[in-house]
Homo-oligomer: A and B are copies of this chain.
């Protein structure tokens, strides 16, 4: 039988001993667990980034994968730790909104529980490092077959981030930059289905872009040219072929991303 898969997503930073300590504490409980690093480079305490990240990554994993998420600015406070099942997979995460996009896109969670059973924690739980002292050992026990019902009571609700939906206006569609990837590509929150024709112009923040390519792939644009295309998660994306659009346009998550279909006078 293949040992269970456990993925790790944190904002601890690659150079930090916190990632290592967490891996150790998990393997202490189940030395056979197979760990898969998703990232440890979520920007510090950036719950919104984590939410985007998880929705873009987790749905691709096989059923029963256990995903451990520690982006947890409220560590040690009364914020809950959640166990949830969604689309056949399992998640352990702080209840701070980081699961908003995942739950929105992959359907409501089932078997949602508040993790409370301290007998599955490390014997001493620090006030500031629940990744090592709670998340890791609980994940280890789950990977050994622990019934999630033993973790704590069912809960009916969870914390949601406000996520602005794109609006249709008389001139076009008003969205925002949802994510800036490593290449500087601007991924908006505007679903590709909302857009049939090439817009007259794209506005990123205060910048009005009238000259851009309307393409299917980066390779169809000339190097350095601004290009509007559909992202790999089905949203409208503005990129520069072999360049960095975020840097050139000074855009970041939250920057308005507007498509105009009427000519501006």
Which residue numbers of A lie inside 8 Å of B, CB to CB?
2-3, 5, 7, 9, 11-25, 27-28, 31-32, 34-45, 52-54, 56-62, 65, 73-77, 79, 126-129, 132-133, 181-183, 216-220, 229-232, 237, 241-242, 244
Check A128–B231 contact: CB distance below 8 A. yes
Check B20–A7 contact: CB distance below 8 A. yes
The residue among A11, A14, A32 with the most chain B CB atoms within 10 A of its own CB is A14
The answer for the CA separation of A245 and B37 in the assembled complex, in Å, is 28
The answer for the CA separation of A133 and B52 in the assembled complex, in Å, is 19
In the bound complex, residues from chain B placing their C-beta under 8 Å from that of A181 are: 13, 16, 18
Contact of A14 among B14, B61, B76 (CB under 8 A): B14
Check A126–B15 contact: CB distance below 8 A. no
Check A65–B27 contact: CB distance below 8 A. yes
In the bound complex, residues from chain B placing their C-beta under 8 Å from that of A16 are: 39, 181-182
Q: Contacts A16-B181, A21-B60, A128-B229 known; A36 to B27 CB distance under 8 Å?
A: yes
Within the complex, what minimum Cβ distance (angstroms) separates A145 from chain B? 16
In the bound complex, residues from chain B placing their C-beta under 8 Å from that of A9 are: 20
Check B183–A232 contact: CB distance below 8 A. no
The answer for the CA separation of A35 and B36 in the assembled complex, in Å, is 8
Q: Contacts A60-B21, A218-B75 known; A128 to B232 CB distance under 8 Å?
A: yes
The answer for the CA separation of A263 and B21 in the assembled complex, in Å, is 39
Within the complex, what minimum Cβ distance (angstroms) separates A101 from chain B? 11
Check B37–A37 contact: CB distance below 8 A. yes
Check A127–B76 contact: CB distance below 8 A. no
12 contacts between A and B (CB under 8 A): A2-B31, A14-B39, A15-B43, A16-B39, A23-B60, A24-B57, A24-B58, A35-B36, A45-B183, A45-B242, A60-B132, A128-B231
Check B31–A15 contact: CB distance below 8 A. no
In the bound complex, residues from chain B placing their C-beta under 8 Å from that of A24 are: 57-62, 65
In the bound complex, residues from chain B placing their C-beta under 8 Å from that of A25 are: 60
Within the complex, what minimum Cβ distance (angstroms) separates A39 from chain B? 6
Check A20–B38 contact: CB distance below 8 A. yes
Contact of A2 among B7, B32, B61 (CB under 8 A): B32
Within the complex, what minimum Cβ distance (angstroms) separates A171 from chain B? 27
Check B127–A17 contact: CB distance below 8 A. no
A-B CB proximity, top 6 nearest = A76-B217, A13-B182, A24-B60, A129-B232, A77-B219, A20-B57
In the bound complex, residues from chain B placing their C-beta under 8 Å from that of A79 are: 219
